[in-house]
Amino acid sequence: MSSSTIQQKQEPKSSSSSVFRFVQGVAQVTGGTVLGITMLTSAVVAGGLVGLAASFRNLPDVRVLRNYVPTETSYIYDIKGRHLASLHDEANREVVKLNKVNPNLKRAVLAMEDSHFYLHNGINPNSVGRALKANWEKNTVVEGGSTLTMQLVKNLFLKQERKFSRKIAEAVLAIRVEQIFTKDQIFEMYLNQIYWGHNNYGIQTAAESYFGKSATDLTLAESAMLAGIIQSPEEYSPFVHYEKAKAQQITALIRMQELGWITPEEVEAARKQKLKLGKLTSWQKSDLPYITEAVVAELNERFGRDAVLKGGMRVQTTIDYKFQRMAEETVARAHANLQYRGIYADQVALAAVDPRTHFVKALVGGISYGKSQFNRAIQSRRQPGSSFKPFVYYAAFASGKYGPDSTVIDAPVSYRDGDGYYSPQNYGGGFSGAMSIRTALAQSSNVPAVKIGRAVGLDKVIEVCRSIGIKSPMEPVTSLPLGAVGVTPLEMAGAFSTFASNGWYSDPTVIVRVTDSNGNVLLDNTPKPRQILDPWATASLNNVLQGVITNGTGKNAQIGRPAAGKTGTTSSERDIWFVGYVPQLAAAVWVGNDDNRPMGGGATGGGYVAPIWRDFMLQALKNEPVQYFQPASKFTPPN
């Protein structure tokens, strides 16, 4: 049978013209007579094996491959598409379509693994006969003779054991697969399934790992080296044994030349090409670990751990890489300044939220992820001190019984609390008598906050906190208005961002969207804001909290534009805070020690944390226009 005769035959299952040219090349190299005998023998052997199928009724049903979805690596990106992290279990894999794989790689793999792939029906009698003879002589399995299809079914369905029965099972399953799927479908499954070393499964992750590029962009030299790796990935890895990998590359190139698929000149050029190796992509550290940690926590809660590690998700976060880096640098710099000023605090944490979307814009869980992986921005519940008071005063305004200029008496008072009595004290001691709520909040007086909290109802204060995203446990104890509760910096930033948006709330999130590897949307976090808080009460609170910064305990937070916020300092100086906002951004900063020891040195939120907040906000808002809060006069007070 001549090559011209092959051209007149019906093209194999694949419609690819490049594959059909492979067939022509095989005919030219092997010679018509040999090829004719091979194809005839293939049919005979295939028929015989189908007859043996009755003995293999327990073999898997290969039709399940129609719905087969290989485990695939999930990828996390920043809001602009920059890769941050890869999430996978044992198999690091990114599935790629066959038409996205460079033809050089396809030819190289076929040359090394199964040059008759597009001609046989699942088994190659020449290879099988040679293997049977060798195995018979040695009385054990010493040679495989496997086609690509047989390798595929072995990896997917069969145990990795060297037995004659397994080889026969491979052949039976391979024939079944060839009856159901096209050659291109089988080849695509094979390229995405096989192991390429260093936890890389599939050609896409192999190309990215070994050469830092997509499978589409592989050169002939790179393709030949990758094809040579398949037989023994760890032994022939260029990262481990470059000379062995180079020898395998040359073997692949020579084999391609023998098949007539490349010229001697192409062989020589590929052999001389200098290869620039990439870096291992499996188990790489995240570029923004605090963010990745928060993303994984949210994904696990919604989808489960297995789906995250094996589902091939594409996750777009709410974070801009440069913005997050700026926040991390701000925290590190702040910690150094605290040490210089004699404040013995071992940690600083920061969380920032966009009030317009409730998208998280920055999360810094500590001064150094390398030294401590505990993410204090989302995992550490610490007492907020007086930065909790805005929730109390909002509840008072929303009740319709109080306004910013309502009078409250700052004088000694005691309340029965459990088995004893609780007598709140002001920071620094002393009492100021009659004062407005505006003044009480600006000066951070404790007694008025406790009185107002008792008057409006502590259960109502807790209800307000729950409505704007604070989920940490709370009890209606008398000291609650002074921050007798543990909260995270992200909870505080998210809650204050609802004040900044004048009462509009969405669930804070670090994820914009999640799709699968085919682009199907799995999660869309497009903001769906709801008016949760009373507009007049919120606007009134915003006005009062601006006074904290202009002439109160938060003067060190002034940033040259309208801003609102609240300082927080707990007893014995164990936790110090500043939580503040402008209409475009809310941020919470906490400073303290992991072992909860006092910081000493007169550490207060206004003196030491407000400057950190100011430093962060000045950078964050550098290119943002000045915006103003809505005045309470635009709204009707509640009855």
Catalytic residue of the set 14, 146, 286, 386 = 386
Q: Rounded to an integer, what distance in angstroms lies between the CA atom of residue 420 and that of residue 415?
A: 8
In 3D, which of 146, 119, 150, 151 has the Cα closest to residue 135?
A: 146
Q: Rounded to an integer, what distance in angstroms lies between the CA atom of residue 73 and that of residue 63?
A: 25
- Helix, strand or coil for residue 450? helix
Catalytic residue of the set 72, 94, 113, 293 = 113
Q: Rounded to an integer, what distance in angstroms lies between the CA atom of residue 161 and that of residue 168?
A: 12
H/E element, 301: helix 289-303
Q: Rounded to an integer, what distance in angstroms lies between the CA atom of residue 298 and that of residue 291?
A: 11
Looking up tokens 């599935």 gives: 95
Active site annotation includes 243: no
Virtual CA dihedral for 582, 586, 592, 598, nearest 10 degrees? Answer: 50
- Backbone phi, psi, residue 535, to 5°: -60, -40
Looking up tokens 């085919």 gives: 518
Pairing of strands 92-93, 200-201: parallel
| Residue 216: DSSP 8-state | G
Q: Rounded to an integer, what distance in angstroms lies between the CA atom of residue 282 and that of residue 47?
A: 44
Query: By the 8 A CB rule, do 468 and 531 touch?
Result: no
Query: By the 8 A CB rule, do 549 and 565 touch?
Result: yes
Beta pairing partners, 586: 353, 581
H/E element, 435: strand 433-436
Q: Rounded to an integer, what distance in angstroms lies between the CA atom of residue 444 and that of residue 134?
A: 89
Query: By the 8 A CB rule, do 174 and 108 touch?
Result: no
Query: By the 8 A CB rule, do 334 and 348 touch?
Result: yes
Beta pairing partners, 496: none
Q: Mind giving me the DSSP string for 28-92? A: HHH-HHHHHHHHHHHHHHHHHHHHHGGGGTTS--GGGGGG----B-EEEE-TTS-EEEEE-SS-E
Active site annotation includes 386: yes
The residues carrying an active-site annotation are 113, 386
